[in-house]
Structure 1
Amino acid sequence: MLNNLNDLNMLITVAKSKGFTAAAKLQNTSPATVSKQIARIEKELGIRLFKRNTRHLEITEDGQNFVNKVKKALEILDEAQTTISQQEQLRGKLRITAPILLGSSYIAPIVAAFRDLHPLLTIDLSLTDHIVDLYSQGIDIAIRIGKLPDSDLVAKRLTTNYRILVAAPSYLKESPLIEHPQQLGEHQCLLFSYPGYRQDQWTLVHKSSAKRKEIIHVKGHLSSDSGDVLKKWCLLGKGIALREAWEVSQDLHEGKLVRILSDWEEPGAAISILYHQRQYASKKVSVFAQYLFQCFKQTL
């Protein structure tokens, strides 16, 4: 039984080039090797495929019939391999949710690059600072910042997020000097909130030791469920904000914002990726999760 694809491919090359020497050059081998390959096929079939002499090589009628059938068989094999390869590619729809600022600054470019690598995949990226229920909203993957509630979701840490205190120079010019975290209670603080939740308590730790902790009850006239809005209000001088270090780094560099109590920061919180237990084996979820890990390792 013929089971050597190299021999069959060489047969097609010999028939096309009409010579062992020409076929050997095309396949980067020797004429002697080509001759042995053709001889193996002829022995297995019990027929002569080519008429040979010192100057000319002519394919026989049986040889031509066999070559035609081999061509069709190899085409079917190539088509089958292509089909399997396409099935292994990521396809379908991947639904992702992430916080607005992190999503627009970091996740969106990562998603675009990932989609370029997997052209059969459709990706929907939903940006919100609300906690979205993955089951009811049909979400495959969530990227979240902070402590995660107990659930049956798979959760893996991507990196650690730090939040710092910032304010605009215009606000600090008109406000009392801040020398200790507890004095924040005397200032206008920009608070994150949404129905049923209001972050009116900030916890800060000293850089020298996590044991030096201050819990401050803060207040303010302005609150929002959008981190982007809180940052804009802060830039306008409306109060003090507790924002991600990566989010305000450029504004600090440009002098649009000033860091307050630089020795104090919120305890590091995890940036995590979450997905359903039942989707642990989903290739598109696991491959994107691994890609996200690599991107965060390089950038954050």
Structure 2
Amino acid sequence: MNDRLLALKLFSRAGRVGNFSSAGRELGLSQPSASRLIAALEADVGAALFSRTTRAVTLTDAGATYLMRVEAILAALDEADHEARGTGELRGVVRVGTPISFALREIIPRLPAFMKQHPALKIELRVTDRYPDLVTEGIDVSIQFGALPDSSATARKLIRQPRILTASPDYLRERGTPAMPSDLAHHVVIISPAHPSPTFSFRKDGRVVSVRVDGQLAITINEGAIASAVVGLGIAASSESSARAELEAGELVRVLPDWDVGSMEVTAVFVSGKTIKPAARAFTDFLATELRN
């Protein structure tokens, strides 16, 4: 990679994360080398692209305008390289953000086939149950459940999964099996990202019933909620796929299966206004096909 192209890639990341050192590390550069490259780029351009303080670097007005142009050029170059190879081969790095449960249960089991198709592509899974910042974290595509926090984001709907309630057989033997949604008021329902509100809405035969549950236990990751339900700590809400293995193994059973607890939309999200990287598009296409099948 020549110095000019490296400098542009460094500038793009530094402009997003506001830090030369962090951007440099992503490209294998030391902090002094990163600073020298940015200084040389500013000299070539003939304008200050960053305002520097002891705590942070921020884009100048000229830098912000330059960043939009540079990112479009880098994306177009990536696309051109991909098309020129003419083989469909993907190279470089694709960074995928994904919730923990979805990574473990849906993405990782399918990765061997995708990686075999694209042996020159490096994949970074950024696994977290929080909504990541696609820009500052450099994520090319983020798999997200439910309503998007940023309505202006570029998104592609992948699949809609029903939300279900599950509990262990031991829990239900001890506490009884709910026959109606109102029975949940006498149970422990685990609060998790799959349903962070203590108020549940159920639908059946045109009726809508809302119930406020006992949120004695709250967990910040869905895998934790499933594990807690398995050991009998309460009733967990999850997507159907998140509990499939435990249901098939008999570790969990459905609670109120005749009632609709809503659904969860699975969406691939990209940085708004930015050209989608070919590798991110290919990964999303692959995942969409796999999930539909």
Q: TM-score range by the shorter chain?
A: 0.5 to 0.7
Query: In 2 relative to 1, CA 254–107 (structure 1 residues): closer, same or farther, beyond 3 Å?
Result: closer
Q: What SS does the aligned partner of 2:90 have?
A: coil
Give the CA deviation at 1:109: 2.9
Q: Which moved more, 1:84-93 or 1:250-259?
A: 84-93
Deviating runs (4+, > 4 A) in structure 1? Answer: none
Distance 1:252 1:104 in 2: 16
Matched with 2:214 is: 219
Which amino acid is 1:140 matched to? D
Q: Paired residue for 2:142?
A: 142
| Structure 2 CA distance for partners of 1:108 and 1:156, relative to 1, 3 Å | same
Distance 1:239 1:281, change over 3 A: closer
Gaps of 5+ in 1: 1-82
Question: Which residue does 2:98 correspond to in 1?
Answer: 98
Q: Which amino acid aligns with 2:263?
A: G
Distance 1:232 1:142 in 2: 25
Q: CA shift at 1:84, angstroms?
A: 4.4
> Per the alignment, do residues 120 and 279 of structure 1 end up closer, same or farther by CA in structure 2, a change over 3 Å counting?
farther
Q: Distance in 2 between matches of 1:145 and 1:183?
A: 28
Paired position in structure 1 for 2:198? 200
Aligned-partner residue type, residue 122 of structure 1: K
Question: Does the Cα contact within 8 Å between 1:97 and 1:127 map onto a contact in 2?
Answer: yes
Superposed, 1:44-83 pairs within 5 Å as none
Query: Normalised by the size of structure 2, how large is the TM-score?
Result: 0.65
Instruction: Map 1:283-294; keep pairs closer than 5 Å.
Output: 283-294=278-289
CA distance in structure 2 between the aligned counterparts of 1:113 and 1:288, rounded to whole angstroms: 11
Instruction: Tell me which structure has the larger Cα radius of gyration.
Output: 1
SS at match of 1:265: coil
Percent of residue pairs bearing the same amino acid type = 28
CA gap 1:243/1:133 in 2 versus in 1, 3 angstroms: same
One-letter identity of the residue aligned with 1:290: D
**1:281 Cα deviation (Å)?**
4.3
The root-mean-square deviation of aligned C-alpha atoms, in Å, is: 2.4
> Per-residue displacement from partner, 1:35-68 (whole Å, max 9, x unpaired)?
xxxxxxxxxxxxxxxxxxxxxxxxxxxxxxxxxx
> Which residue is 1:274 aligned to?
269
Aligned-partner Cα distance in 2 for 1:162–1:99: 17
1:257-286 CA-to-partner distances (Å, cap 9, x unmatched) read: 221111013212211111123443422222
How far off its partner does 1:199 sit?
A: 2.5
Letter in 2 for 1:222: L
2:242 is aligned, of 240, 247, 251, to 247
The reply to whether residue 107 of structure 1 matches residue 135 of structure 2 is no
User: CA separation of 1:238/1:277 partners in 2, compared to 1, >3 Å: closer, same or farther?
Assistant: same
